[in-house]
A and B are shown apart, each in its own frame.
Chain A
Amino acid sequence: MKILPLKKTYAGKTVLDLPEIELGTGRVTAVIGANGSGKSTLAKLLAGIERPDERSWKAPAVRIGYMPQKSYAFRMSTARNVALNGDDAQRRQHLLKVLQLEPLARQRAKKLSGGETAKMALARLLMGRYELLILDEPTAAMDMESTFAAEGLIAGYCKETGCAVLLITHSIRQAQRLADEVLFLHRGELAERGSAAQLLAAPAREETKSFLEFYGM
Chain B
Amino acid sequence: MGSSIQKAIALILSADRELLNILGTTARVSLTSSVIALLIGVPVGIWLGACRFRGRGALVVVNRTLMGMPPVVCGLLFYMLFSGVGPFRHLKLLFTVKLMIVAQVVLITPIVVGNMETYVSDIAPAMRETAKGLGFGLGKRFLLLLNECVYPIFSVYLLAFARAIAEVGAVSMVGGAIAWKTNVMTTAIMQYTNRGNFTLGIALGLILMTLSLIVNVVLSLMQRRMSR
Chain A residues with a Cβ under 8 A of chain B? 44, 47-49, 63-68, 70-72, 74-76, 84-85, 108, 111, 121, 124-125, 128, 130, 134
B224 within 8 A of A: no
Chain A residue, CB-CB nearest to B126: A72
Taking residues whose C-beta sits less than 8 angstroms from the other chain, chain B's interface range is: 10 to 19
* B121 CB → nearest A CB, Å: 14
A72-B126, A72-B127, A111-B228 given; A67·B148 CB < 8 A? no
Q: Is there an interface contact between A63 and B135, defined as CB atoms closer than 8 Å?
A: yes
Q: Is there an interface contact between B129 and A49, defined as CB atoms closer than 8 Å?
A: yes
Q: Is there an interface contact between A125 and B147, defined as CB atoms closer than 8 Å?
A: no
Q: Is there an interface contact between B147 and A66, defined as CB atoms closer than 8 Å?
A: no
In the complex, which residues of chain B have a beta carbon less than 8 angstroms from the beta carbon of A71? Answer: 130
Chain B residue, CB-CB nearest to A69: B129
B133 within 8 A of A: yes
Q: Is there an interface contact between A76 and B147, defined as CB atoms closer than 8 Å?
A: yes
Chain B residues with a Cβ under 8 A of chain A? 123, 126-136, 144, 147-148, 150, 228
Q: Roughly how many angstroms separate A176 CA and B127 CA in the complex, as a whole number?
A: 32
Q: Roughly how many angstroms separate A74 CA and B134 CA in the complex, as a whole number?
A: 13
In the complex, which residues of chain A have a beta carbon less than 8 angstroms from the beta carbon of B144? Answer: 74, 84
In the complex, which residues of chain A have a beta carbon less than 8 angstroms from the beta carbon of B136? Answer: 84
Q: Is there an interface contact between A64 and B130, defined as CB atoms closer than 8 Å?
A: no
Chain B residue, CB-CB nearest to A68: B129
Most buried by A among B132, B134, B148, B150: B134
In the complex, which residues of chain B have a beta carbon less than 8 angstroms from the beta carbon of A76? Answer: 147
* B126 CB → nearest A CB, Å: 5
A63, A66, A108, A125: which contacts B132 (Cβ < 8 A)? Answer: A66
Q: Roughly how many angstroms separate A154 CA and B228 CA in the complex, as a whole number?
A: 32
In the complex, which residues of chain B have a beta carbon less than 8 angstroms from the beta carbon of A65? Answer: 133-135
Q: Is there an interface contact between B148 and A121, defined as CB atoms closer than 8 Å?
A: no
Q: Is there an interface contact between A108 and B228, defined as CB atoms closer than 8 Å?
A: yes
Q: Is there an interface contact between A128 and B148, defined as CB atoms closer than 8 Å?
A: no
